[in-house]
Structure 1
Amino acid sequence: MTSTQADTSAADPKGYVSADLYAQVQQFYARQMGLIDDGKPDEWAGTFTEDAVFEEAGRLKEPVRGREAIRLSSRARQERLERDGIDFRHWLSMLDVSPQDDGSLRARTYALAMRTPRGGALDVFASVVCHDHLVAVDGIWQVRHRNLSHDGSAQD
């Protein structure tokens, strides 16, 4: 089994996943964030299920529903960044992975979203808590549901 294949067989009774599965999820996020940070919105959208939901309270009025809508939204974001000459990066940490009875995973991470105008100084744009529901599709982890909460934003 390669690191891109989902292995849901190794959860212990305390709700922890195996070190191998934890590493798979870490690598999933490293690749996923690398895709969006490298300006590859189509490939990034491909890391979501066809019926995925993307919620971002405080920034999006309504959830983005479906891979194609996520793709279109991420393309528009990439076009804005290129037009404005901004490099954007995500830094994820504090990953917590919880196995679910159906073989899916719940993941919680902290994320810093950073932007740097070309020739300018780094700006930490947002501190975010990311809650994901990950499912295995043809042996590959994908996001079925993402909920982002910005620190300091009003919660509904």
Structure 2
Amino acid sequence: MSQAVRNTYAKVSGEVYAEVRTFYAWQMRRVDALDIEGFAATFTEDGEVVHAGGHVQRGREEMLAGMRAALPRYRDIAVRHWFDHVLIEPDPVDEDTLHVSYYSLVTQTDREGNVAFEPTFTVEDELVRREGALYTRRRVIHRDTPVEPPVHTG
């Protein structure tokens, strides 16, 4: 995915940064452990996931149905989601909303210890605070594609 790179970003406190990183650690440990109910519970009831291919899942029940259908794919492998280059920005209007962008790498390890990599993705999340806890309201997943180098003239 080609993303515009800005020179400045709105800042969050170190406490909010740590809270968001911890939220993702718990969220991804749930999905990597195939605790799909626990993973779905980290989304709002009406949460939405827009997958890289354009397929949209709305609401926890639709997410759970999709994850249940995919479970056989994870037989005999350990999956790990790795997030980095996390940018967290407060919403300019709603103090209970955060906009987060990060890079995602997914590995799959078989019983012999062989590791395979999924394509890399850039993910954009909208996190909301409800009764003191963070939830994902919207996730948009973009499969990474090469960026065209700039053309220099002269």
Deviates more, 1:20-29 or 1:61-70: 61-70
Give matches, 1:46-125, under 5 Å.
Answer: 46-58=41-53, 61-82=54-75, 85-100=76-91, 101-103=93-95, 104-125=97-118
User: Is the 8 Å Cα contact of residues 128 and 150 (structure 1) preserved in structure 2?
Assistant: yes
TM-score for the superposition, normalised by structure 2 = 0.82
Whole-Å separation in 2 of the counterparts to 1:152 and 1:121: 25
How many residues align structurally?
136
Whole-Å separation in 1 of the counterparts to 2:50 and 2:144: 15
Structure 2 match to 1:143: 136
Q: Which runs of 4+ in 1 moved over 6 A?
A: none
Structure 1 match to 2:32: 37
The superposition leaves residues 56-105 of structure 1 with CA deviations (integer Å, 9 ceiling, x where unpaired) of 122xx5201111111222232233312xx121110000111000121200
Letter in 1 for 2:86: L
User: Is the 8 Å Cα contact of residues 42 and 75 (structure 1) preserved in structure 2?
Assistant: no
Letter in 2 for 1:35: R
Percent of paired sites with the same residue: 33
Whole-Å separation in 1 of the counterparts to 2:26 and 2:55: 27
CA RMSD between the two structures: 1.5
Structure 2 match to 1:16: 11
> Where do 5+ consecutive residues of structure 2 fail to align?
1-8, 147-154
> Where do 5+ consecutive residues of structure 1 fail to align?
1-13
TM-score for the superposition, normalised by structure 1 = 0.81
The superposition leaves residues 33-75 of structure 1 with CA deviations (integer Å, 9 ceiling, x where unpaired) of 01000111110000000111101122xx520111111122223
Q: CA deviation at 1:18?
A: 0.3
Letter in 2 for 1:102: D
DSSP-derived class of the 2:142 partner: strand
